[in-house]
Amino acid sequence: MGSLTEAIRTTFAYERQAGTRVYKGKVEHFLIGNAPHGGYIISLCTNATQQHQSSTPHRDPAHLAAQFFSPCQPGAVQVEVKTLSASKRWTRLDVSLMQYSRTDDVASSPVERVRLTYLYTDLPHPAEWGSSPNADNLSVLPWSESPFARPTPLAQHPSELREAKMYPSFQFRDVVKWSELVLIGPEDSPDPSAAPFQRMHSAFYWSQVHEEDDVTKNVELVCFFADMFMNGPELIQGAHQEVGRKYWFPTMTLSLDFKAKFPLVGVPGAPSGSSPSKSTVGIYFATKSISEGRHDQTVEVWTSPGGIGEGDAKLGGPEWRQEAQLLAVSTQLALVIPYSVNEKIANREDDKSSKL
């Protein structure tokens, strides 16, 4: 199975008179059961927008918002990108992911599966941020002297952890791996006597197998990581195994804030001077409410000091948590529906509407 970087690659096809540029791609392998993974789809769309913006002053994605109208199917897709506005500081893009209603049958009608809006800008280089925030510099570095400088929520070094078993429904489990759950740092952990719902959060490390999947260089991969987590209903004590077998958790909407400029560099002023892992990131996730299965999800993507079960925590020094960089924060609305709905996706014909 190929790399994620290869699987999200799109190529420019043509430009319409209205100014919309069309990119061709192919959805394959990165499936949850029979449905393409939502973060993978957003990564594919972001690959197209990166090409669209490559010759402009605004090459850094700052924000995106996505609505999933109906699940994609494996096969050919078109990503249509149009510039809505471009000012001195911001460029706004309108993006649609299209598929033929009968996949790969050009005689069938096109269906819009996902609609996205992007904000692009020119993010500052970390070296320009300064060591501590002030009236002229409102950036808070992980290693700044400010009490508001928050370390990564992951309190365990990845070298201390073992690889955990991947869900059978992950069709891409041969090229990725995740760690066992990680202890949460005291900055993000509620008092032990707090209400149980305040503990509906957790974290783990996530690694790519292929060397081509370099998270320090490719911002498009962050979209995939920002949709990798355990859903809130799975975190309810005693519900994990039962919920995981019976249900599917499709994403309805997802917004993503990008917090770092790519390619990544080390944190200015950090004492160790070490570089983040190219293959591994830390994922912190939390759910605030669940209503008849409909639930919110917040996911933070952080750099990792190394790979899962690799290296020595002592080599990075005690400062590794402060030196981690926050790459992105996503929020989403997801559902809990019977897994049988996922199983039917592969057999649907001429589907023009959502079955969620």
Contact 164, 213 (CB under 8 A): no
129 found inside a domain:
no
Residue 345: which residues within 8 A CB-CB, separation 6 or more?
33, 34, 35, 71, 73
pLDDT in tens, the chain (356 residues): 789 999 999 999 999 988 999 999 999 889 999 999 999 999 999 999 999 999 999 999 999 999 999 989 899 999 999 999 999 999 999 999 999 876 666 667 889 999 999 999 999 876 655 556 666 667 776 666 777 778 899 989 999 999 998 888 899 999 889 998 888 877 676 555 444 444 567 888 888 888 899 999 999 999 999 999 888 777 776 555 556 568 889 999 999 999 999 998 766 666 666 788 999 999 999 888 888 888 999 999 999 989 999 877 666 566 788 888 999 999 999 998 888 888 887 666 545 444 44
Q: What is the DSSP letter of 3?
A: -
Task: Tell me the C-alpha to C-alpha distance, in Å, between residue 140 and each of 91, 148, 185, 325, 353.
Answer: 25, 7, 19, 11, 44
Quick check: is 76 in a domain?
yes
Residue closest to 176 by CA, chosen among 228, 113, 253, 231 = 228
Q: Cα(281)–Cα(274) distance, rounded to whole angstroms? A: 15
Read off the CATH number of the domain in which 170 is found: 2.40.160.210
* Amino acid present at 109: S
User: Is 62 a member of any domain?
Assistant: yes
Measured over the CA atoms of residue 303, residue 114, residue 77 and residue 21, the dihedral's sign is negative
**Residue 208: Cβ within 10 Å count:** 23
Q: Distance between CA atoms of 14 and 12, rounded to whole angstroms?
A: 6
**Residues spanned by the domain of 52:** 4-123+145-347
Q: How many domains does the chain have?
A: 1
3-state DSSP of 288-305: CCEECCEEEEEEEEEECC
What pLDDT sits at residue 197? 45
Q: Is residue 128 part of a domain?
A: no
Residue 356 lies in a domain: no
